[in-house]
Chain A
Amino acid sequence: MAAPRAREARGHRDHRRVPSEEEALEKWDWDRAETRRLFEDAFFRDEDYIRQGSEDCHKFWAFFERLQRFQSLQTSRKEEKDPRHPKHRIPALADLPHTYDPRYRINLSVLGPDMRDTGRGSRLPPKRVSEFRRALLHYLDFGQKQAFGRLAKLQRERAALPIAQYGDCILQTLKQHQVVVVAGDTGCGKSTQVPQYLLAAGFSHVACTQPRRIACISLAKRVGFESLSQYGSQVGYQIRFESTRSAATKIVFLTVGLLLRQIQREPSLPQYKVLIVDEVHERQLHSDFLLGVLQRLLPTRPDLKVVLMSATINIALFSSYFGNAPVVQVPGRLFPITVIYQPQEAEQTASKSEKLDPRPFLRVLEAIDNKYAAEERGDLLVFLSGMAEIGAVLEAAQTYASRTQRWVVLPLHSALSVADQDKVFDVAPPGVRKCILSTNIAETSVTIEGIRFVVDSGKVKEMSYDPQAKLQRLQEFWISQASAEQRKGRAGRTGPGVCYRLYAESDYDAFAPYPVPEIRRVALDALVLQMKSMSVGDPRTFPFIEPPPPASLETAIQYLRDQGALDASEALTPIGCLLAQLPVDVVIGKMLILGSMFSLAEPVLTIAAALSVQSPFTRSAQSSLECAAARRPLESDQGDPFTLFNVFNAWVQVKAERSRNSRKWCRRRGVEEHRLYEMANLRRQFKELLEDHGLLAGAQEATPGDSYSRLQQRLERRALHQLKRQHEEGAGRRRKVLRLQEEADDGSSDEDRAGPAARRADDSVDIQDVKFKLRHNLEQLQAAASSAQALTREQLLLLKLVLARGLYPQLAVPDPFNSGRKDSDQIFHTQAKQGAVLHPTSVFASSPEVLHTEEPPATGAGGSRDDKDKMSSKHQLLAFVSLLETNKLYLVNCVRVPALQSLLLFSRSLDTNGDCSRLVADGWLELQLVDSEGAVRLLGAALRLRARWESALDRQLSHQAWQQQRQRRQRLEEDEEEAAPISRTEVAALSRELLQFMATKVPCSLRRLTGLEAQNLYVGPQTVTATPSLPGLFGSSTLSPHPTKGGYSVTDFLTYNCLSSDTDLYSDCLRTFWTCPRCDLHLPLTPLERVAHESACAAGLDGGPGAEEAAPEQPQKPSALQRPYRCDACHRDFLFTPTEALRHRRQHM
């Protein structure tokens, strides 16, 4: 029996079985864990097909039990012996076993311990071993049949797709032409099959672009699955933060934006041989641009093949754009759909209610309940214009559902978490229908099976763009006929369907045939920037498939010039080059660059990331007092970006303290954790970009010193990887059966929505958390978060300055009467728009008083001024990230900044009167200062700071450009002289002075000019040729009369004395006695002369003590300040700077 050594090892177990074999057989119990383990030890070793403890192992035992039961029913089967046949003439048939045994039907065999002769299993009773082996064979055979069945089913389904008949045709056409248009309606299978036909035909280096990231992932998975390389690497995807691409990848799904960036790097796109551009009919901005780029690229890459895939919309447009490219048109697979027009009576016009009336939608639910038996399956898909509308219908429909118990109501829009979006794919229990309330996301991007009924509201909310106001508007529009058909088609994918249109047939006839292409609806800044960096020439003459409105282009170009990304000749500036490489809004890109200069990269990275994703604050939490209270400690009265900054940092800390559950933490504060993950991803990407561009020193891997903690870290990472793998293996997400909403009245609450998702995830791991920890260095993040808490007041102020400079000119001025208004009625004005309000999520919406100038009006001059023009040193402006118009005009993501200093530092245009006590910034904001002397001093300081800041930034950027060039050329010796980076001490000095400047308290009034005032602002060009007696005001620049405004341009932004006003006519010749604090010069001077002296005097002092007296005698470098000067007293000619002239004059006094 058992080998002696085995007996020693398992002595006590063997005892039980010692008595006799028969007894053991009788008492044999397969269900005993011990028995099973013995067999597992023998058959399911690590090197065996099934491993002990694996999922397969559990499945086997379940199978085993079923088989045992089945066989016990059949034991009485008679051993029928076949009559002996004569030997068959065909040899293969001659030696068939004549006694039938199911075992002969199995084409494989398992080696067991008895055959291996290792001794381990030889203790097992042979009869039991054969029983086990037999079961194992059946199990393996069953597994083979199951897998093959799936494979065959997959192939059948693929073959049954409408496009399957056109596969060869597409390949053949592509062989003969460079461009092929494949047009087919949803459901024909083009997106999944065409890539596979190309793969099967031996193509490699195939890129397939998708308008949306989510489609890249799901298509790569689907195509990988269908092409049977699900776990191989032939099929991959590449999106902003993730890539599954490897050397073996033959086809990659990527976003259009990403492909454009690849073209930006390598214009001839050498890494691809075939490009599939999917969903071209959607006419997305990037997709339109890509078509233009391709049209130009194709002649230079005759070997590059292009497949355009489109719905059957406007196909001729695409074909003709590519020289009448051949079109392969594939019919869709649609069942007949009945269209019912149910125009809404004008019942809600009376009350100007903001909420959508849900009654017409409920009527459809009722109609379905009345007309169709509950057993007849088929779900309902309702198209609504936006989230608010979904909310309104959701509430009413859930009440109805809880009454009838026949519906499960689910919302679907892009702001939902992925887990909640996934719920629409779950199935309803028998007798219950799903009612999915969706935005137009379900029109093309998300396909839900089993839809039989569609309700089409006929409306869509889209961003529209007002180029004049640079304003994004979320507006409701009627959809196009193409969209209406698309929506209708969703009802006929699995069987005949019904489409209820909540508008009249005449309305339908009046719809536009196609949706307005995005290029005609949105801001083109980013596009123009990208075009410039790709050197495709003048955007105005670029051969777009349909050109954008010229006004939009001009606005974008002007905006980029204002932002300093383009120079006067519309060429990219160094900062523009950098901005073009950052896949973010220009404003955010500027912040990143500015922040890195002031060594504020870490906090700016977080803020930039926070401002680039959707607000993490959930809507419903807005009304929850608990959430608001929990969130309060994180709020910053400096502005929303700082609140977001705090939220992110606090979240990172929660993540780092292992004991706490970040998901719960988020839910309690009404924060959508998904957005925070996005922030973390984006932050990392920004960081890498800054490092790549030499703006941020690459972080040294912070490896813990001792080997123990290194090991610890490695182990941790391995465990995380394991978790992730396990999750992915089990990730063939099964459809779940939805539950009827028990507490339906409460159904719209976020807590409730988060509930099932959380429950589902809680029984496994928080995979987001695992991915997060794998992707990010939590210690680094935590260090950044901790250092954020330790930011000094000065650093915070500097950070604010960086934000403000980045955001400029997006400024709003509070209405002067705000302090007398309710919190919710605070009004703000921007240059182009009046009467904007704070977004309800803004910190200032709940505490607007921090924006008021509580100070009593300063006493002093200006008695004639309006009361509202309060003199105060506390005037503030709001710098905002975006302006959004829905039912109101909202300022989104605001920071408060001191008005006077910010305008002096940032304005593109500053105009003054004669004594500089009146300043107008950018032609719309007027500042009046009591003290003209102070005003002049402040102005002078601003000029100097701006010049220094600008030059520091220039040097930083040119140094960076130089480094990049060096990297590119890889030749150190022959390079031109290195552009020196800006030194730390210099930056420190600059920041110190900037902070000093910001801290100055100068009372002034702040006023938005009226339209009429703005029109008559300037004195206009003057015929007087006399230049002011003191040229070279404000440093070294030369004065020249301003051609349109009048007065004199001092710098490219400052125009002196051009404001028209009665008093101003004299002010420039009004001299008052003044003593220079530096050189004790005492003279009657005009303000202009005073400032000129001051700046020259300060410059003189820099030369060292005693320079004042020595200066005239010193052989000086020729200065731009010097002008011929003829002294009337001594009748001699000099070449003097203004200060020298003053000194000279003093001699004669």
Chain B
Amino acid sequence: MASEAERRPLGVFECQLCGLTAPYSYVGQKPPNTQSVVLLEESYVMKDPFSPDRDRFLVLGAQCSVCGRLVCVGPECSLFYSKRFCLPCVRENLGAFPAEIRQDLEKRKAPPSMRSSGRACPGT
């Protein structure tokens, strides 16, 4: 079936801030197998891994519209306000955002890094 091919990952999405990785199967604004939902940004999308339904999708992340970094949609890394912004860019340009966003941001903390440090191998 076509769905099998569509589901095959195109690559691995990696958030440039927190290091979260996940395979994505689509980039764009119209996720496959769904007609009624459109995305408002160019998004990296995977099939929702927690749903048996094959047309469920999960948006992983998108590019920050200021700096172009690829960031995940996690609240510690980015926010969406008519466009995607990574938190560092939001912080830098706080004044451009409405008060609600500014208040919201104060509650957030810095992203935990997922990158592993790695260990030395046994003598090889």
A interface with B by C-beta (< 8 Å): 43, 47-49, 80, 82, 85, 88, 90, 92-93, 96-100, 104-112, 140, 144-145, 147-148, 150-152, 155-156, 159, 164-169, 172-173, 176-177, 225, 228-232, 248, 326-329, 725, 728-729
Report the nearest A residue to B95, measured CB to CB.
A85
Known: A167-B116, A232-B7. A92 touches B36 (CB 8 A): no
Bitwise, B111-122 to A at CB < 8 A (1) or not (0) is 010101111111
Report the nearest B residue to A164, measured CB to CB.
B116
Please, how many residues of chain B have a CB less than 8 angstroms from a CB on the other chain?
Answer: 59
Instruction: Evaluate contact between A92 and B66: CB separation under 8 angstroms.
Output: yes
Instruction: Evaluate contact between A105 and B96: CB separation under 8 angstroms.
Output: no
Q: Measured between alpha carbons, how far is A725 from B52 in the docked complex, in Å?
A: 10
Instruction: Evaluate contact between B46 and A107: CB separation under 8 angstroms.
Output: no
- B46, B97, B100, B114: the one contacting A155 at CB < 8 Å is B114
Enumerate chain A residues within 8 angstroms of B38, measured Cβ to Cβ.
Answer: 108-111
Instruction: Evaluate contact between B79 and A328: CB separation under 8 angstroms.
Output: no
- In the complex, the 3 A-B pairs of residues with the closest C-beta atoms, listed nearest first: A228-B49, A92-B65, A100-B98
Q: Which residues from 59 to 110 on chain B have a C-beta closer than 8 Å to any C-beta of chain A?
A: 59-60, 62, 65-66, 72-74, 79-85, 93, 95-101
Most buried by A among B47, B60, B116, B117: B116
Known: A104-B82, A230-B49. A49 touches B98 (CB 8 A): no
Instruction: Evaluate contact between A144 and B96: CB separation under 8 angstroms.
Output: no
Enumerate chain B residues within 8 angstroms of A110, measured Cβ to Cβ.
Answer: 36-38
Q: Measured between alpha carbons, how far is A627 from B105 in the docked complex, in Å?
A: 68
Enumerate chain A residues within 8 angstroms of B85, measured Cβ to Cβ.
Answer: 92
Instruction: Evaluate contact between A111 and B122: CB separation under 8 angstroms.
Output: no
Instruction: List 18 other contacts, CB 8 Å, given A80-B99, A152-B20, A225-B49.
Output: A47-B35, A47-B36, A48-B35, A97-B82, A104-B81, A108-B59, A109-B39, A111-B36, A144-B59, A147-B48, A147-B58, A148-B59, A169-B119, A228-B23, A229-B49, A230-B49, A231-B54, A729-B52
Instruction: Evaluate contact between B36 and A228: CB separation under 8 angstroms.
Output: no
Instruction: Evaluate contact between B37 and A90: CB separation under 8 angstroms.
Output: no
Q: Can you report 21 A-B residue pairs in the complex whose CB atoms are below 8 A from each other?
A: A47-B36, A49-B34, A49-B55, A90-B93, A92-B65, A92-B66, A96-B96, A104-B82, A108-B38, A109-B40, A111-B36, A151-B20, A156-B112, A159-B114, A159-B116, A167-B116, A169-B119, A173-B122, A228-B22, A232-B47, A725-B52
Report the nearest A residue to B65, measured CB to CB.
A92
Instruction: Evaluate contact between A93 and B93: CB separation under 8 angstroms.
Output: yes
Q: Measured between alpha carbons, how far is A88 from B81 in the docked complex, in Å?
A: 15
Report the nearest B residue to A56, measured CB to CB.
B53
Known: A90-B66, A159-B114. A108 touches B37 (CB 8 A): yes
Most buried by A among B65, B79, B93, B96: B96
Q: Measured between alpha carbons, how far is A501 from B12 in the docked complex, in Å?
A: 49
- A48, A168, A230: the one contacting B50 at CB < 8 Å is A230
Enumerate chain A residues within 8 angstroms of B124, measured Cβ to Cβ.
Answer: 172-173, 176-177, 326
Enumerate chain B residues within 8 angstroms of A327, measured Cβ to Cβ.
Answer: 122
Instruction: Evaluate contact between A165 and B117: CB separation under 8 angstroms.
Output: yes
- B50, B83, B98, B122: the one contacting A147 at CB < 8 Å is B50
Instruction: Evaluate contact between B122 and A326: CB separation under 8 angstroms.
Output: yes
Instruction: Evaluate contact between B22 and A107: CB separation under 8 angstroms.
Output: no
CB proximity of A691 to chain B, nearest CB, Å? 32
Enumerate chain A residues within 8 angstroms of B123, measured Cβ to Cβ.
Answer: 326
Enumerate chain B residues within 8 angstroms of A99, measured Cβ to Cβ.
Answer: 98
Q: Which residues from 12 to 35 on chain B have a C-beta closer than 8 Å to any C-beta of chain A?
A: 20-23, 34-35
Instruction: Evaluate contact between B66 and A93: CB separation under 8 angstroms.
Output: yes
Enumerate chain A residues within 8 angstroms of B52, measured Cβ to Cβ.
Answer: 231, 725, 728-729
Report the nearest B residue to A233, measured CB to CB.
B4
Q: Measured between alpha carbons, how far is A229 from B50 in the docked complex, in Å?
A: 9
Enumerate chain A residues within 8 angstroms of B22, measured Cβ to Cβ.
Answer: 151, 155, 228
Instruction: Evaluate contact between B119 and A165: CB separation under 8 angstroms.
Output: yes
Known: A49-B36, A151-B49. A107 touches B4 (CB 8 A): no
Report the nearest B residue to A88, measured CB to CB.
B96
CB proximity of B8 to chain A, nearest CB, Å? 9
Enumerate chain A residues within 8 angstroms of B34, measured Cβ to Cβ.
Answer: 49
Enumerate chain B residues within 8 angstroms of A229, measured Cβ to Cβ.
Answer: 49
CB proximity of A104 to chain B, nearest CB, Å? 5
Report the nearest B residue to A172, measured CB to CB.
B121
CB proximity of B90 to chain A, nearest CB, Å? 10
CB proximity of A60 to chain B, nearest CB, Å? 13
CB proximity of A190 to chain B, nearest CB, Å? 14
Q: Measured between alpha carbons, how far is A110 from B101 in the docked complex, in Å?
A: 24
CB proximity of A114 to chain B, nearest CB, Å? 12
